[in-house]
Amino acid sequence: MREQLWVEVDPHQSSGPLAAYCLMTGYIDVISFSAIFVWCGFQTGNFCQLALAIARLFGTPQDLRFHIPDQQALCSLITFNMGAFLGRIGDRMGVKTRIWLFFGTMIQAVLLAVGAIVLWQSGEGSIASDRGEPAWRNTLSFVGLGFISASLGLQGIMGKRLNTQFTTTVVLTTVWCELMCEPELFKLRHLVKSRDLKVAAAMSLFLGGFAGRAILDRIGAAGALGVGVGFRVLIAISWLFVPPVSASKSK
């Protein structure tokens, strides 16, 4: 069993778990965006939002306030990078080993579970009616936001280290650019792996966003994140069944 856990999986046979990662990105992001209009996984937007906050210091009229949405964007950015930093554990264990992919995904589940519990304890709402009035405002909600952002940060670096068509599984802007430049984009009668996997990544994220909002409307943010924890655990288990590199080559 130890030998099987420490074997390296074949990244080209990892499409299932990686597509599930993309689904989780959409799922979690719609929960945070519905509450505070901040993306836990799309940190480019959060970083630009901070630039706008600084630019307001020199505007007319001058605005010296650090608005709550800007504070939340900063919180998400910092904790996302802290979660990505945890990916360095994989450098010790082997970024493609089954044990790390299982263990790292379970860490994502734990981070998400803590975030769900904290947001439940905060007692705040789940859906904001206006950008100027986010549903999450108190200290506990900042903590919860940090934990769920960290879970996506760790997911992003784990996906990136596998170096597949799914890239980071978090930000798909690069996937869209590469898809539009795909030489065999319009060969619809043939399977084109480089194209089809990019489409699968985008559609998985879309499906996750749809499911996340539907579940959010029914059971609230904490409950929806709790369901996401279950998804995370299932993804972790699925890594144990991805074929190793040697097995896929022999076929």
Our count of domains for the chain comes to 1
- With beta carbons less than 8 A apart as the criterion, state whether 124 and 136 touch: yes
Report in angstroms the alpha-carbon separations of 40 from 121, 161, 170, 224: 20, 20, 9, 15
Whether 249 shows a pLDDT value over 60: the answer reads: no
Alpha carbon distance 59, 62 (integer Å): 5
Give tens-digit pLDDT for 42-92. Answer: 999 899 989 988 898 887 777 778 888 899 999 999 999 999 999 999 999
CB 134 within 8 A of CB 72: yes
Q: Residue 205's domain spans which residues?
A: 20-242
In a domain, 8, yes or no: no
Domain presence at residue 82: yes
Mean pLDDT, range 121-147, rounded to an integer: 90
Token pair listed for 210? 């749809």
What pLDDT, on the 0 to 100 scale, is given for residue 97? 95
Query: Would you say residue 208 lies in a domain?
Result: yes
Q: How far apart are CA 213 and CA 205, in angstroms?
A: 12
Does 236 reside within a domain?
Answer: yes
Give the pLDDT confidence of 137-185 residue by residue, as tens digits.
999 999 999 999 999 999 999 999 998 989 889 988 888 888 888 887 7
Residue 65 has what pLDDT? 80
In a domain, 63, yes or no: yes
Q: Is residue 10 part of a domain?
A: no
Instruction: Give me the percent of the chain exceeding a pLDDT of 90.
Output: 69
CATH code for the domain of 118: 1.20.1250
